[in-house]
Amino acid sequence: MSLEYTSSEMMTVTAARALENGTTCFVGIGLPSEAANLARLTHAPDVVLIYESGTLQTKPDVLPLSIGDGELAETALTTVAVPEMFRYWLQGGKIDVGFLGTAQIDRYCNLNTTLIGDYRAPKVRLPGGGGAPEIATNAGEVFITLKHSKRAFVDKVDFVTTLGFGRDGKGRDNVPNIGKGPSRVITDLCVMKPDPDTKELVVVSLHPGVTREDVKDATGWDIRFAEQLENTSEPSEKELTILRELKARTERAHAGE
Amino acid sequence: MAEFLSLHDAVARYVQDGATVAMEGFTHLIPFAAGHEVIRQKKRDLTLIRMTPDIIYDQLIGAGCAKKVIFSWGGNPGVGSLHRLRDAVEKGWPHKVEILEHSHAAMACAFEAGAAGLPLAVLRGYVGSELPSVNDQIKFIECPFTGERLAAVPSVRPDVSIVHAQRADRQGNVLVEGIVGVQKEAILAAKHSIVTVEEIVDDLKAHPNACVIPGWAISAIAVAEKGALPSYTHGYYGRSNRFYKEWDAIARDRDIFTQWLDANVYSAAHNDGHNPAGGQA
């Protein structure tokens, strides 16, 4: 008997499963934060979550609305200054995984959170880079999670805020002292990984009930599929229960202020 | 030695038209009361520096105080866009605002370099990013020892930095607790500094390694109770996530924003004019 769940829940659970217990993870706000905390509350109790506000090894009871909610400092092992966070902990090589969201992503995993249109005359101004440009290059590897749509998955990003593998897939070649870059992209439809040689994103696993056509229709380029295409396993009852409790607690906390 | 001034007098003395101003606080301890005082005194042509412009700079930009904004993440945290920032950049309202955009790592390093009295900060940053193509203040240098290509940005040296903190003692020494952001760096990097505090106490009761800024390194201290709302002060009051969400609708529309500004900043009288409810009127 299968459980009832939404595609968003499928995405969060799949993203959470990507984090192994004991991993040191630099967490972006929003979907990555939701997934990372679900991991901590399920299979990865010893995952170390670090937010750019300086909160090191934090265990929030509710999801933060902002990157610097008091909850993060109150439940952290310690809170350091922001320059220390970026210089010692991130640039110093102490982070295994950077977990990011994005507004746009292209076939080589380049991320755009800066703007849509031309830089000097933008159609839509987005928030900007924040921590992402250095998280993506100074963490050991990078996981990316976002909803799948043609608006988000574009052939070429309008602006490379944050390096995936560059506009030609070779952006990390021969650059010393940086991480290996994006290793998986988790959406509400599928899981993708970069081709080991070309670095172009390839679908490696389809979520239950999702077809190749669904993914093609939501992707702005001719997306490739792995020869050994897998089926993502469904969320378990335990994962769904813990995720829903976390979101309910969060909603109550944010409504009450 | 820090002088104890009213917020009005501190801003009148240290924030001049055309100045470079950093109002810091990384999501936490954002100096809203001071920002409102700057708006009320109709300061103009300011270069505003902040890692996360947040609602505070959205208000200053919409009120016409800004000439230029230097930042690294310009959103309403957890909510979406800063509509006043976008309106100024996209449509030039109330006038065109120049932007200079960095990453967090570079800005944090630039504040630290400013505090250290250096002309530049060096970091392993901007690798593969197109930000250097739109910001001529991002350069690359070669490490003289290893040959590694590293990013360099000018240090941040504001005319005045403004931060909020939990408390000061009667000698003007200030204690900052919780998420400390780049507060200390901002103060030490600036020519002048204003610190607003929740209260003045006899004894800071600070632990040996607490973040304490000596009074002699600060220009002025002003008491501003609830001076960080709708941001928060660790140990005093929480963040008004509700107001951050409400701000989206207020800031989206020029008329609603203007009315909000009239009612909550220009007309606000008590507590040095800061509406401690965060403008929930």
What's the pLDDT tens digit per position in A118-168? 998 889 999 999 999 999 999 999 999 999 999 999 999 999 999 999 999
Q: For residue B125, how many other CB atoms are within 10 A of its CB?
A: 27
Interface check for B105 against chain A (CB to CB < 8 A): the answer is yes
Scanning B169-228 for CB atoms below 8 A from A yields 178-182, 184-185, 211
Which residues make Cβ contacts (< 8 Å) with residue B42, sequence separation at least 6?
B65
Q: Where are the domains of chain A?
A: 7-187+234-254
Contacts of B209 in chain A (CB under 8 A): none
The torsion defined by the Cα of A214, A218, A221 and A224, in degrees rounded to 10, comes to -30
Choose among A73, A87, A159: nearest Cβ to B234: A73
CB pairs under 8 A between A and B: 183
- The pair of structure tokens assigned to B171 is 């000698």
* H or E stretch at A97: strand A97-100
Interface check for B86 against chain A (CB to CB < 8 A): the answer is yes
- pLDDT tens track for A29-80: 899 999 999 999 999 999 999 999 999 999 999 999 888 899 999 999 999 9
Interface check for B75 against chain A (CB to CB < 8 A): the answer is yes
**A7-187+234-254 topology per CATH:** Glutaconate Coenzyme A-transferase (3.40.1080)
Helix-strand-coil percent breakdown of chain B, rounded to 5? 30, 25, 45
- The pair of structure tokens assigned to B265 is 């900043």
Residue B269 pLDDT grade (very low, low, confident, very high; cuts 50, 70, 90): low
pLDDT of residue B123 exceeding 60, the answer is yes
- When mean pLDDT is compared across A250-254, B71-75, B120-124, B221-225, the lowest value belongs to A250-254
pTM score, whole prediction = 0.96
